[in-house]
């Protein structure tokens, strides 16, 4: 009997884009337009890690493609967040690099929203992102 190895996970790299790495009070959420099954759901900007790319490189590339901003990554948040199917997401704190414009929804998204700890649940997060949002709620500082 022949055994086939399980398929490797699909690696996704994303960022919790915040206003300040040292004392984050706001995080950016992005509303998806594609694929249809996810359209209208809110998520953290990011995407699949391409062959030959590190998670960090993918997170930076995805922010440039999806938001039009260069980012500076901070620490990783948690580790290996399970998404749907075989997908696993690594998430990093990030801030826009000095001199960068405000992020814009350029690719795969039609709206962006800055959220504080108090209004973090005011958007319809994708179900797979909810455990991450709950984790972040403990890490974001209040504006006071």
Tokens found for residue 84: 């749907």
The proportion of the chain whose per-residue pLDDT surpasses 90, expressed as a percent, equals 83
CATH class of 10-119: alpha beta
Dist. CA 32–CA 29, nearest whole Å: 10
Angle at 102 between CA 97 and CA 106, to 5 degrees: 105
Q: What are the pLDDT digits (tens) for 35-57?
A: 898 999 999 999 999 999 999 99
For the chain, what are the domain ranges? 10-119
């Amino acid at each position: 009997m022949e055994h086939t190895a399980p398929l490797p996970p699909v690696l996704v790299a994303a960022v919790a884009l915040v206003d300040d790495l040292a004392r984050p009070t706001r995080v950016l959420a992005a509303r998806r337009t594609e694929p249809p099954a996810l359209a209208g759901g809110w998520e953290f900007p990011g995407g699949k890690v391409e062959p030959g790319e590190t998670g960090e490189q993918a997170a930076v590339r995805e922010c440039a493609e999806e938001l039009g901003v260069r980012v500076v990554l901070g620490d990783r948040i948690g580790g290996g967040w399970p998404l749907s199917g075989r997908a696993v997401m690594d998430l990093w704190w990030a801030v826009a690099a000095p001199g960068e414009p405000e992020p814009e929804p350029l690719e795969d998204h039609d709206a962006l929203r800055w959220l504080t700890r108090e209004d973090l649940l005011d958007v319809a997060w994708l179900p797979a992102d909810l455990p991450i949002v709950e984790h972040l709620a403990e890490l974001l500082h209040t504006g006071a």
